[in-house]
């Protein structure tokens, strides 16, 4: 018995628990390395592309004004690969490096989350309500090499950045530009 969501059968909780129980009882083999972006997202994109899985949005975001962003599994996979390349190449990050995101829950928040998974970069989320002291503490404690924010929050974030000895790059989400900041949209 599966529930239908946009014409797609979804596993019920009992089926998911059953799957994990079979792993715990060594009936299913655990992968040596697991990456959600490549092992799940890319597989679903392939199944959709081959016509073996109905096309459904992988991501569906609606803001207060009713503006929508919908990405298929293939689109989210492609965008997350591009974003992972931005983090690796333009920002100079490697697997294991840490990134702090001080963003509201805009589509790029989820995109960067998946991109970090794909690249093995540690994503540290921060809300738009963090104070300068909060941001400074998180930068130092995490040894983050990159900070990501939007053009609205950047003025509040910038004053604490000179004190961060580990920070290599600053990435801006949005249409604006600032001196010393890379723009995600332009780099994608």
Give pTM, 2 decimals: 0.82
Each domain of the chain, given as residue ranges in start order, spans: 59-186
CATH fold of 59-186: Rossmann fold (3.40.50)
Nearest to 59 by CA among 47, 38, 45: 45
Burial degree of 53 (CB within 10 A; 0-12, 13-18, 19+): middle
Helices (H) and strands (E) in the chain, counts: 8, 9
Q: pLDDT tens track of the chain, all 188 residues? A: 344 444 444 544 565 566 567 666 766 566 788 888 998 899 989 988 888 888 789 999 999 999 999 999 999 999 999 999 999 999 999 999 999 999 998 999 999 999 999 999 999 999 889 999 999 999 999 999 999 999 999 998 999 999 899 999 999 999 888 999 999 999 99
């Amino acid at each position: 018995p599966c529930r239908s969501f946009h014409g797609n059968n979804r596993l019920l909780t009992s089926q998911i628990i059953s799957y994990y129980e079979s792993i715990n009882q060594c009936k299913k083999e655990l992968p040596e390395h697991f990456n959600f972006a490549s092992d799940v997202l890319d597989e679903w994109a392939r199944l959709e592309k081959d016509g073996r899985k109905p096309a459904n949005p992988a991501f569906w975001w609606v803001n207060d004004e009713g503006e929508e962003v919908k990405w298929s599994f293939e689109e989210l996979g492609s965008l997350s690969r591009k974003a992972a390349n931005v983090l690796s190449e333009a920002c100079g990050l490697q697997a294991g490096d840490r990134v702090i995101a001080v963003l509201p829950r805009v589509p790029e928040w989820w995109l960067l989350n998946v991109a970090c998974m794909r690249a093995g970069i540690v994503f540290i989320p921060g809300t738009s309500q963090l104070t300068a002291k909060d941001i400074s503490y998180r930068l130092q404690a995490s040894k983050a090499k990159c900070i990501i924010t939007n053009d609205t929050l950047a003025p509040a974030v910038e004053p604490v950045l000179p004190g961060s000895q580990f920070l290599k790059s600053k990435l801006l989400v949005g249409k604006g530009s600032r001196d010393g900041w890379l723009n995600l949209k332009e780099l994608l």
